[in-house]
């Protein structure tokens, strides 16, 4: 019998989760069912790869969940089209954009949709634009950075993925001290893929989405269904081990397709 940590596989107990409305049905992406795994994004090839890797034994076996996730990651690496999304956004304003690029200008950018396509396959191209204002992840900026922090902080340079190198100059806050905007300047002639773009060295590249064309999207963030690695071991009530934060629904900003 195959057992994964933080998962139960007893059909009776899974049925109890469904009938007691602890999950949204047999196809809930947190459920260890084929339909649940399919909704979570697992491909038939990834499940077959997982089965081949763990093999068959006569005794019960514990397989780390990361093994299953690794099989999916490996299968999708060469065929899942990439795109950028910002989950917890804060606005980044490039204060010298109008001076360097022209007021209202949107600079076209391109990146491969498949960074690592199969051998003999040419990657499609993603097209997007960058302007004076972009969204970045709030965690990609620290006003007072901890040791080893390589992303945005005053005086530091990073690259906007597929775009330009920028240098952070500070931030603005509201009356409660919450950061409302991050301020930076764009470094001219550093657009990704252009001659000389790599002459300015940076230690980090961050995800972003343009304010002018970003699209709001509902994102469902799934975590482990249980807090205990063995939720039903030793006669424990597995219901008490349910993770109250196993599903979070947020509105993110994503790159248009």
Q: What per-residue confidence (pLDDT) applies to 120?
A: 85
What CATH number should be reported for the domain whose range is 85-213? 2.40.240.10
Main-chain dihedrals φ then ψ at residue 80, nearest 5 degrees: -90, 120
- Same CATH topology for 2-77+217-254 and 85-213: the answer is no
Q: Are 192 and 84 in contact (CB under 8 A)?
A: no
Output the CA torsion 12→16→18→19 (10° steps).
120
Helix orientation angle between 44-54 and 65-77, rounded to the nearest 10 degrees: 130
Residue partners of 66: CB distance under 8 A and separation at least 6: none
Q: What per-residue confidence (pLDDT) applies to 1?
A: 66
Q: What per-residue confidence (pLDDT) applies to 54?
A: 84
What is the pLDDT tens value at each position of the chain, 257 positions in all? 678 899 998 999 999 999 999 999 999 999 999 999 999 999 999 999 999 988 877 767 788 889 999 999 999 998 999 999 999 999 999 999 999 999 999 999 999 999 888 888 889 999 999 999 999 999 999 999 999 999 999 999 999 999 999 999 999 999 999 999 999 999 999 999 999 898 999 999 999 999 999 999 999 999 999 999 999 888 889 999 999 999 999 999 999 98
Q: What per-residue confidence (pLDDT) applies to 234?
A: 82
Domain boundaries, the chain: 2-77+217-254, 85-213
Q: How many CA atoms lie within 13 A of 10 on its CB side?
A: 10
Hey, CA dihedral for 112, 117, 123, 124, is it positive or negative?
negative
Distance, CA of 216 to chain centre? 15
Q: How far is CA 87 from CA 150, 182, 215, 249, in A?
A: 20, 16, 12, 10
Q: What per-residue confidence (pLDDT) applies to 3?
A: 82
The strand pair at 208-210 and 133-137 is best described as antiparallel
Distance CA 198, CA 24 (A): 49
Fold (topology level) of 2-77+217-254: 1.10.1160
């Amino acid at each position: 019998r195959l057992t994964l940590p933080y998962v139960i596989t007893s059909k009776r107990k899974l049925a109890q989760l469904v009938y007691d409305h602890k999950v949204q049905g047999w196809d809930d992406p947190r459920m260890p069912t084929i339909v649940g795994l399919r909704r979570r994004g697992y491909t038939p090839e990834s499940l077959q790869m997982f089965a081949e890797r763990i093999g068959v034994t006569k005794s019960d076996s514990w397989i780390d969940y990361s093994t299953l996730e690794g099989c999916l990651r490996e299968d999708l690496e060469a065929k899942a089209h990439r795109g950028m999304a910002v989950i917890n956004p804060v606005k980044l304003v490039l204060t010298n954009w109008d001076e360097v690029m022209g007021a209202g200008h949107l600079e076209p950018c391109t990146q491969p949709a498949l960074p690592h396509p199969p051998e003999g396959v040419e990657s499609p191209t993603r097209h997007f634009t960058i302007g004076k204002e972009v969204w970045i992840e709030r965690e990609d900026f620290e006003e007072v950075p901890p040791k080893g922090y390589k992303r945005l902080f005053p005086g530091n340079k990073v690259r906007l993925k597929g775009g330009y190198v920028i240098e952070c100059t500070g931030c603005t806050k509201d009356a409660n001290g919450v950061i409302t905007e991050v301020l930076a300047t764009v470094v001219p002639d550093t657009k990704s893929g252009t001659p000389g773009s790599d002459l300015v060295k940076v230690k980090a590249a961050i995800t972003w989405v343009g304010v002018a064309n970003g699209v709001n999207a509902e994102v469902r963030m799934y975590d482990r269904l249980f807090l205990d690695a063995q939720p039903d071991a030793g006669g424990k009530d597995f219901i008490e081990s349910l993770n109250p934060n196993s599903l979070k629904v947020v509105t993110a900003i994503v790159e248009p397709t």
